[in-house]
Amino acid sequence: MASITEIRKKIPQDLLNSFYDIFDIHTVDKILYGFSEKKLTTLRVNTLKYDIKSLMDYFKQINIKFERVKWNENALILKNADERDLEKLNIYKDGLIYLQNLSSMIPPIILDPQEGEKILDVAAAPGSKTTQMAAMMKNRGFILANEVDKIRAERLKYNLNLQGVEIAEVRVGKGERIGDEYTEFFDKVLLDVPCSGEGIISIKDSKTYKGWSLKEVEKLSRLQKKLFESAYKALKKGGIIVYSTCTLNRKENEEIIDWAINHFNIDILSIERLDNNFLNGITTGLNDEVKKCIRVIPNDVYEGFFVCKIKKKD
């Protein structure tokens, strides 16, 4: 594992400074260690095709050691196998499991889609959360899975098909326009927005941080606001939005929620802290309601993430 000093030298100085602006030194150190730790492989069973007991029995037979996840009964943390090992197995090839980071599983669990509901997934590719929601809904209801990029949309369609999802329609187009096309149509919206990806930085892969810049964060923040407005328009009164990012800065997280509180008729709902690796939202100079959001600090099983649960008032 790289030392803190090495990591500080590698990542962009503006990024490092922004962490020290937001977090105490102890938390910054935890984040930096998280960037250098090798992630354990995590996955969930696809309950449309398989079940957790059968999966655990199978892993015991082939000597794959695992640990269960207390807040997700269908997820496992693997101790002695990685993605390449799993990709050779029929359970992977046949779509019985989905390789997914634990943090990525949180927004659908917070959204809690139910059978028969109409759900919007604003930025759906490659489909990890869409397939998770379809399984939670037992393939009953409707999901509009939106993706702006045509190539990524093809990957999304492939994954939906492999996982046996029958209730999702793929829309290829700008998420900013959905609110006008589907005004007050959806019961719930998953707004997992494009972001600067600070939570998924790996110090071993310079591609994960070389493209980061304050200018890019600013640009993404403008897009996130447009997507929020579209999601809000598309949501029925009394409906729920879960806003999430895989980044750590305030600009794309708490400041978006603070802006939304000031511009829309919404309530921020409390989220149960699923794990002690989660922090509450940071409110300095912002609306106190932002404290109800959660931020996940990266480590050996979690990517860095931010999640907020929002209700559109009647």
For residues 148 and 177, the answer to whether their CB atoms sit within 8 Å is no
Rounded-to-integer distance, Cα 32 and Cα 213, Å: 18
Q: Where are the beta strands (DSSP E) in the chain?
A: 42-45, 66-69, 72-78, 97-99, 118-121, 142-147, 168-172, 186-192, 235-245, 266-269, 278-280, 294-296, 305-312
Please report how the helices 254-263 and 214-234 are oriented relative to each other, as an axis angle in degrees rounded to 10.
Answer: 40
Amino acid identity for residue 146 in this structure: N
Q: Encoding tokens for residue 148?
A: 């702006």
Please identify which of the residues 195, 246, 293, 308 carries the catalytic annotation. 246
Name the residue among 35, 169, 190 with its Cα closest to residue 104: 190
Q: Is 246 in the active site?
A: yes
For residues 180 and 112, the answer to whether their CB atoms sit within 8 Å is no
Q: Which residues are catalytic?
A: 246
